[in-house]
Structure 1
């Protein structure tokens, strides 16, 4: 599959397609698509010193198959998704909408690293009228998501 058609498929299908394309033994690795990276702070992890200590959990923790999905927001930096108690083959995804309509225009994901049971995404810039949401997908299937914030 060409890189261009892969991006098209990922933008249209979301996280489930990401999981179908990942090797079973992959180390944690970020993926992104759509127009992710267009806005400031995108492409950085929430641990960057500029953002440290500014994130808070928004909305309730969502659960699927004993795994937890959390959405974090900072009015200084944007948002990120985190999954906990995850099994191998799962991915944390942050979807971002350009204009507040809750339409996935850009996304970033992170796989679960071997030997640990959590993952968190890079930052999505949902400031200035943009919105985002968190998603948990495993083995090619979207399991649960948060609302758009």
Structure 2
């Protein structure tokens, strides 16, 4: 398999393709790419002090084969993705666009931990004109996603 740069993968097939190339380990693990981490609160979980309890679900819960995808937003901290009732080899993925145009330039994902059936991502900062969306990715394929918010 020929290695491709992150920019090429994001430009041609999105963050889900990059996640397909990322090995899924036995323990849940966050992965990120693009310019993720460039804005405040990115790299922290939604339980961080000052953000905990400030998130609310935006948009409808998306489902695929009984698995649920939810998108949460806080006007103080940003957003995160959560998947529930998930099988193994799946991940919650949050894409963020810093231009507001709905083209991902940063992303973060979290795989499902053994013995549980849910996962949630670290925060993506979609404040001040930036937007983000949540995806349910299994075996490297995006199965469903939310709108950009």
The TM-score normalised by the length of structure 1 is: 0.92
Question: Counterpart of 1:8?
Answer: 7
Structure 2 CA distance, aligned partners of 1:17 and 1:100?
21
CA gap of 1:110–1:6, structure 2 versus 1, over 3 A, is: farther
Question: Counterpart of 1:65?
Answer: 65
Displacement after TM superposition at 1:22 (Å): 1.8
Contact 1:16 1:139 in 2 (8 A): no
SS in 2 for 1:14: helix
Displacement after TM superposition at 1:20 (Å): 4.3
Structure 1 CA distance, aligned partners of 2:10 and 2:103?
11
Question: Counterpart of 2:131?
Answer: 131
Q: How does 1:12-91 map to 2 (within 5 A)?
A: 12=11, 13-23=14-24, 25-91=25-91
Question: Counterpart of 2:98?
Answer: 98
Contact 2:57 2:71 in 1 (8 A): yes
Structure 1 CA distance, aligned partners of 2:147 and 2:19?
21
* TM-superposition CA deviations, 1:84-135 (whole Å, max 9, x none): 0000000100000011110101000000001100000000000000000000
Structure 1 CA distance, aligned partners of 2:39 and 2:74?
15
Number of residues of Structure 1 aligned to a counterpart in Structure 2? 147
How well do the aligned residues superpose, as a CA RMSD in angstroms? 1.8
